[in-house]
């Protein structure tokens, strides 16, 4: 019964948004799916922090985009909705699957105006300043360009786990006019991702 009410809510409040995304996909010769349940995904996304909150979870306005240069992998854009206690929150997510990468879980997220990286552990997370955490705690290298990319969009978060990366601003929808620019930013970050060491990182 509650799921049916959620569907009615989505159709009533998000119809204009999904129609706009459908038109965008059509104009760019991209495939579009109106709605998918969170549990009906080909990739296991349950480990990502953005999806940890309990509630009725679903994706709306899903656009499938190929990676540049005919690389193996895929990009999806969607609005992620979660409803709990009659409150619905929406976060637009750019999801990139790039099988050439297999990284440990990480998050680069905004905090006090600066991006921080959190490495997940069984008991507690470790937080510190950007460069200090990268050098000490994770075998991941970010180029100066990637650091600048994240700081240029200080309200956005990048999560990575295995071959999947998520780029989003929590509880915010991405404006359709900004969508392809942000997809390009996220794609550039992932395609230049290096799981190497920090010997040359300053």
Q: HEC profile for 121-172?
A: CCCCCECCCHHHHHHHHCCCECCHHHHHHHHHCCCCEEEEEECEEEEECCCC
Q: What is the model's pLDDT at position 127? A: 40
In this predicted structure, what is the pLDDT of residue 175? 96
- Rg of the chain over Cα atoms, rounded to whole angstroms, equals 17
Query: Average pLDDT per run of 10 along the chain, which is 202 residues long?
Result: 70 87 97 94 90 93 92 96 91 96 84 50 38 45 73 84 94 96 92 55 29
The pTM of the full predicted model, rounded to 2 decimals, is 0.82
Running DSSP on this structure, what letter comes out for residue 179?
H
pLDDT at 31: 98
Phi-psi map region of 109: left, alpha, beta (phi>0 left; psi -120 to 50 alpha): beta
- Could you report how far apart the first and last alpha carbons of the chain are, in Å? 55
């Amino acid at each position: 019964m509650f799921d049916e009410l959620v569907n009615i809510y989505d159709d009533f409040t998000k119809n204009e948004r999904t129609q706009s995304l459908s038109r965008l996909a059509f104009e760019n010769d991209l495939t579009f799916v109106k709605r998918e349940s969170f549990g009906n995904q080909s990739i296991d996304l349950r480990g990502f922090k953005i999806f940890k909150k309990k509630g009725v979870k679903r994706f709306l306005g899903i656009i499938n985009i190929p990676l540049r240069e005919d690389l193996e992998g895929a990009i999806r854009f969607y609005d992620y909705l979660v409803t709990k206690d009659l409150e619905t929150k929406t976060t637009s997510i750019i999801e990139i699957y790039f099988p050439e990468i297999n990284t440990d879980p990480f998050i680069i997220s905004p905090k006090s105006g600066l991006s921080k990286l959190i490495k997940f552990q069984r008991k507690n997370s470790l937080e510190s300043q950007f460069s200090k955490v990268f050098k000490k705690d994770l075998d991941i290298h970010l180029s100066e360009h990637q650091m600048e990319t994240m700081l240029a969009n200080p309200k956005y978060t990048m999560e990575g786990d295995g071959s999947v990366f998520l780029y989003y601003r929590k509880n915010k929808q991405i404006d359709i006019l900004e969508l392809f620019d942000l997809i390009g930013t996220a794609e550039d970050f992932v395609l230049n991702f290096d799981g190497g060491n920090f010997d040359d990182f300053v």
